[in-house]
Structure 1
């Protein structure tokens, strides 16, 4: 049964401490294959005047913003919301989830920065496409979060013929609560008539 103990200077929010405990649990579980229910995390807090480094009192470092929704699902929810808006062609709603420097790349496409570019590029490839999501995997990389989404595409070719069961993988990078990058891989070229 792994036990992790962390000392923090007082001043961090309950939400941030909860996020830290969840991420430490995930890191231990991934590193030593321990069941998360068997992992114990203790956070010990010390007062700022009870801590010194280099002979000087220190203040806690600034915390990143913590989303108000459940912590483990915030990045996945953002990706699901974006994909649902795109499938419904609600481009304004989908655009509101993008960072100012957002870039996306699809098989055979140049890098695109606006959703209208994607819609125009895809116009001759299919009439409609939807995604059946099998799984979303999330990984924090420090200053950004990666969400990998995979499943199957379904829809209609330009002539109206339906297609289904086409594999896809989308890799998203999220920074500051917005989608910054989308890389897409799929088997549409292999499935086309």
Structure 2
């Protein structure tokens, strides 16, 4: 039965502690073959007046946002075409790569690239998976796409997976894979016409 103990400066809300306990439990289970209920996490809150570093009192840092929730909010903003809101979630050096594209850094580039491919697209999510990394948290959003082709014909059920890197609470990279091109090609007649 693995036991993890962590000392925190008091002041973190319960939902932050719950996220931390879940993340620590998952981290243990990547290495130790234990079911979740066998991993014990003990959190010890220390009064802020009892915390010093370098001989000076310190305050706890604010918790970072949940990476999966940040990605979900970003994707919702993009679907609503609220580019200002989406941009506010991007970090320095943001880059995105979509199928068959060179790296793009501006959302307008993405919209220009997508315009001749489909009228609109929405996502149905099967799940969000988060993994910690040495520099960034990695979030995978997966599910299916639906929308309309440029001629107004509907499409649905197209697989996708988006991989995001979240650094210090901001999205710094997005890589996208989907079956849109294969689906579109299979709907064309042998001579290449719709």
TM-score range, shorter chain: 0.7 to 0.9
Residues 108-119 of structure 1 mapped to structure 2, 5 A cutoff? 108-119=100-111
- The CA deviation string for residues 146-193 of structure 1, in whole angstroms up to 9 with x for no partner, is 001110000000011111000001000001111100000000011113
Task: Label 1:13 to 1:141 Cα distance change in 2 as closer, same or farther (>3 A).
Answer: farther
CA distance in 2, matches of 1:63, 1:141: 22
Residue 125 of structure 2 corresponds to which residue in structure 1? 133
* Residue 14 of structure 1, CA deviation: 4.7
CA distance in 2, matches of 1:104, 1:27: 28
* Residue 22 of structure 1, CA deviation: 3.5
| TM-score, structure 2 as length reference | 0.79
Task: Label 1:143 to 1:65 Cα distance change in 2 as closer, same or farther (>3 A).
Answer: farther
CA distance in 1, matches of 2:61, 2:133: 14
CA distance in 1, matches of 2:137, 2:165: 6
Aligned positions, number: 178
In structure 2, the gaps of 5 or more residues are 188-194
* Residue 110 of structure 1, CA deviation: 1.1
Residue 26 of structure 1 corresponds to which residue in structure 2? 26
| TM-score, structure 1 as length reference | 0.79
1:15 match: secondary structure? coil
Residue 191 of structure 2 corresponds to which residue in structure 1? none
> Which one of 6, 12, 27 corresponds to residue 15 of structure 1?
12
Task: Label 1:175 to 1:64 Cα distance change in 2 as closer, same or farther (>3 A).
Answer: farther
What's the Cα RMSD here?
2.7
2:105 match: secondary structure? coil
* Residue 44 of structure 1, CA deviation: 6.1
Residue 146 of structure 2 corresponds to which residue in structure 1? 154
Residue 4 of structure 1 corresponds to which residue in structure 2? 4
- The CA deviation string for residues 59-94 of structure 1, in whole angstroms up to 9 with x for no partner, is 899966413x6xxxx111111111111111111111
Residues 20-169 of structure 1 mapped to structure 2, 5 A cutoff? 20-43=20-43, 65-67=62-64, 74-169=66-161
Does residue 186 of structure 2 align to residue 189 of structure 1? no
Asked if 2 retains the 8 angstrom alpha-carbon contact of 1:169 and 1:184, the reply is: yes
Does residue 165 of structure 2 align to residue 173 of structure 1? yes
In structure 1, the gaps of 5 or more residues are 50-56
Comparing 124-133 and 139-148, the one that deviates more:
139-148
Asked if 1 retains the 8 angstrom alpha-carbon contact of 2:94 and 2:172, the reply is: yes
